[in-house]
């Protein structure tokens, strides 16, 4: 099957959305499909045409930017050219160009699938509010033109104003793809030694430094945590320098990073075995996001499959990994004191929260996600469409694991 994946930003840009599409595209290619990614050349140093892990990448030059958005006059013609060759078009929202691509699919009689990853919420300001409304309008047009809409969990689907309108009509639930590079125990020990972690409770956060990630919630929780665990340390994996549109936020947090410099370490972006070594050395991972730009938090599954419990905020979708597995605690959104207490409880009895990491890894393997999408693509090709918001069998297996653990 010839699959066209369409999104605004792709790797090496780091976000949950780009990582999702990279993993899915690679898994589809490994299963024998012809996969092309259409995206922006957000950095002029990136090649216009590329091939990575069997996935063809086509980047369209950016003429100018509007906030975090990009304007690409060449995008429409390239989308038309690539859509003609595709069997199915897969859009990833939020994306300004999505309705134009969806319309092309409709005109050509090609199935159009839309995966809605999260809401778009730009920083404060009248202009950004206008951009928000424009993008929401474009998302609405794309959703109406799509044959099927996909999200990660029923929880997020029912609470999202955008997704809830498609309940019982065209909404499907497919687990996100999660995988990590192998890391030996020896490499994990080297990471521990390099960071000086021996004997210290290690709290992790894996997120770029962006307003919606709520990093200040963890920073404000530190005094209470340190009162209970004086030698605790936070390791923050993720980009933190020159994040587009987040300069003001970084400046606001700078004094707190300085204040806790002996207990909070910014590691920058980690990938491959280094990222796995990071997880292997954690005692708890925190997800402190503040709004619906976070719909799940793939990092939670990455941590859990390494035996690391999670303290997650109660956002729809984000609370589901902990709720399904029992592997951690859910705290009110933005409540730093509740987060501090959850961290203390987990650090005090980590084993109480641990579950079978193999089952968690299998439930979210990219191969399983690719199979689910392929089935949806084939059904649409043959005119079959059975919209359902039933959650996948993998989610039920995780809940059974949680319940059996409680009974035991």
Q: Is the pLDDT assigned to residue 407 strictly greater than 60?
A: no
Domain 185-358 has CATH 3.60.15.10: no
pLDDT confidence bin for 5, thresholds 50/70/90: very high
Average pLDDT on 272-297 reads 95
Q: How many helices (H) and strands (E) does the chain have?
A: 16, 16
* Among the ranges given (39-43, 115-119, 197-201, 356-360), the one the predictor scored with the smallest mean pLDDT: 356-360
Cβ neighbours of 376 (radius 10 Å):
22
* Among the ranges given (53-67, 253-267, 326-340), the one the predictor scored with the smallest mean pLDDT: 53-67
pLDDT of residue 128: 63
pLDDT of residue 369: 96
Residue 159, preceding bond cis, omega within 30 degrees? no
Length of the chain: 408
Backbone angles phi, psi at 216, to 5 degrees: -65, -25
pLDDT confidence bin for 133, thresholds 50/70/90: confident
Q: Same fold for the domain at 2-177+365-394 and the one at 185-358?
A: yes
According to DSSP, the residues that pair with 311 across neighbouring strands are: 286, 329
pLDDT digits (tens, 9 = 90+) for 286-300: 999 999 889 999 999
Sorted by sequence, the CB contacts under 8 Å of residue 150 that are 6+ apart come out as 113, 114, 115, 116, 171, 172, 173, 174, 373, 376
* Among the ranges given (54-58, 277-281, 386-390, 395-399), the one the predictor scored with the smallest mean pLDDT: 386-390
- Which fold, 2-177+365-394? Rossmann fold (3.40.50)
- Ordered by start, the domain boundaries in the chain are 2-177+365-394, 185-358
For residues 118 and 169, what is the distance between their CA atoms, to the nearest angstrom?
A: 19
Residue 94, preceding bond cis, omega within 30 degrees? yes
Specify whether the CB–CB gap between 346 and 284 falls below 8 A: yes
Average pLDDT on 386-402 reads 76
DSSP, res 242: S
Above pLDDT 70, what percent of the chain?
Answer: 94
pLDDT of residue 406: 61
Q: Is the pLDDT assigned to residue 120 strictly greater than 80?
A: no
> What's the pTM?
0.87
pLDDT of residue 405: 65
């Amino acid at each position: 099957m010839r699959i066209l994946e369409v999104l605004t930003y792709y790797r090496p840009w780091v976000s949950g959305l780009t990582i999702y599409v990279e993993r899915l595209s690679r898994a589809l290619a490994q299963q024998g499909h012809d996969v092309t990614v259409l995206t922006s050349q957000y950095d002029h140093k990136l090649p216009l045409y590329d091939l990575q892990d069997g996935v063809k990448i086509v980047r369209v030059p950016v003429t100018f930017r509007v906030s975090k958005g990009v304007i690409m006059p060449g995008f429409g013609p390239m989308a038309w050219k690539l859509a003609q060759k595709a069997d199915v078009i897969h859009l990833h929202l939020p994306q300004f160009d999505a309705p134009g691509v969806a319309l092309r699919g409709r005109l050509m009689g090609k199935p159009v699938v839309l995966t809605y990853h999260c809401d778009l919420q730009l920083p404060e300001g009248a202009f950004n509010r206008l951009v928000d409304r424009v993008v929401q309008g474009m998302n609405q047009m794309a959703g109406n033109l799509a044959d099927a809409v996909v999200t990660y969990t029923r929880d997020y689907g029912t609470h999202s104003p955008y997704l809830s309108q498609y309940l019982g009509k065209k909404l499907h639930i497919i687990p996100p793809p999660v995988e990590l590079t192998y890391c030996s125990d020896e490499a994990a020990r080297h990471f521990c030694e390099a960071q000086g972690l021996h004997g210290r409770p290690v709290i992790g956060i894996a997120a770029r430094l962006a307003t919606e990630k709520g990093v200040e919630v963890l920073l404000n929780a530190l005094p209470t945590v340190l009162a209970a665990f004086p030698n605790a340390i936070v390791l923050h994996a993720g980009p933190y320098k020159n994040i587009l549109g987040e300069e003001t936020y970084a400046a606001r947090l700078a004094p707190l990073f300085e204040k806790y410099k002996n207990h909070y370490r910014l590691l920058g972006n980690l990938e491959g075995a280094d990222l796995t070594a990071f997880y292997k050395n954690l005692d708890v991972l925190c997800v402190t996001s503040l709004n619906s730009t976070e719909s799940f938090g793939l990092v939670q599954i990455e941590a859990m499959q390494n035996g690391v419990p999670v303290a997650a905020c109660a956002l729809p979708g984000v609370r589901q990994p902990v709720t399904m597995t029992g592997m951690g605690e859910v705290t009110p959104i933005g409540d730093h004191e509740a987060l501090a207490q959850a961290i203390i409880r987990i650090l005090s009895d980590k084993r109480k929260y641990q579950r079978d990491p193999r089952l968690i890894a299998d439930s979210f393997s990219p191969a399983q996600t690719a199979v689910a999408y392929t089935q949806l693509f084939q059904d649409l090709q043959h005119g079959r469409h059975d919209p359902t918001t039933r959650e996948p069998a993998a989610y039920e297996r995780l809940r059974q694991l949680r319940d059996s653990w409680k009974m035991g």
